[in-house]
Amino acid sequence: QVQLQQSGPGLVKPSQTLSLTCAISGDSVSTNSATWNWIRQSPSRGLEWLGRTYYRSKWYNDYAVSVNSRITITPDTSKNQFSLQLNSVTPEDTAVYYCASSGKIAAAGTALEDWGQGTLVTVSS
């Protein structure tokens, strides 16, 4: 089973960049059979998928339309982890952020199977 361990700051100032990392154990970020996702949860927006990175002979990224202009998800093969950067944050980006894997149990990648522990990120000056 894949285990995901999140790290990163819990407080970010408005207009700055939110950065979180998700360390993977039990699998490789470079596997051809999984995708690596970021999701957030807030009372106002519920559960919201933000984007993913995955390797299929080369690296691909997909991002949600709502954050497409501000988000970058990056794999780090040397550390077997992937990272989220969200630029120009506002208080509306305050949420619990989760990383999650997909594609190992549901082969079509239709479910988010293993989750990190979550990180509450507050955007405030």
Partner 1 sequence: EIVLTQSPATLSLSPGERATLSCRASQSVNSYLAWYQQKPGQAPRLLIYDASNRATGIPARFSGSGSGTDFTLTISSLEPEDFAVYYCQQRTNWPPMFTFGQGTKLEIK
Give residues in contact with partner 1 (CB under 8 A).
Answer: 1, 37, 39, 46-49, 52, 62, 64-65, 98, 100, 105-106, 108-118
Helix/strand/coil for 53: strand
Angstrom distance (rounded) from CA 55 to CA 39: 19
62 versus 76: smaller Cβ distance to partner 1? 62
Shortest Cβ 16–partner 1 spacing (Å): 26
Helix/strand/coil for 107: coil
Shortest Cβ 117–partner 1 spacing (Å): 6
The helix or strand, by DSSP H or E, that contains position 113, with its residue range, turns out to be none
Pick from 15, 20, 47: which is nearest to 36 by CA? 20
Shortest Cβ 13–partner 1 spacing (Å): 26
75 versus 109: smaller Cβ distance to partner 1? 109
83 versus 116: smaller Cβ distance to partner 1? 116
User: Is 38 in contact with 51 (CB distance < 8 Å)?
Assistant: yes
Shortest Cβ 46–partner 1 spacing (Å): 6
Angstrom distance (rounded) from CA 47 to CA 43: 9
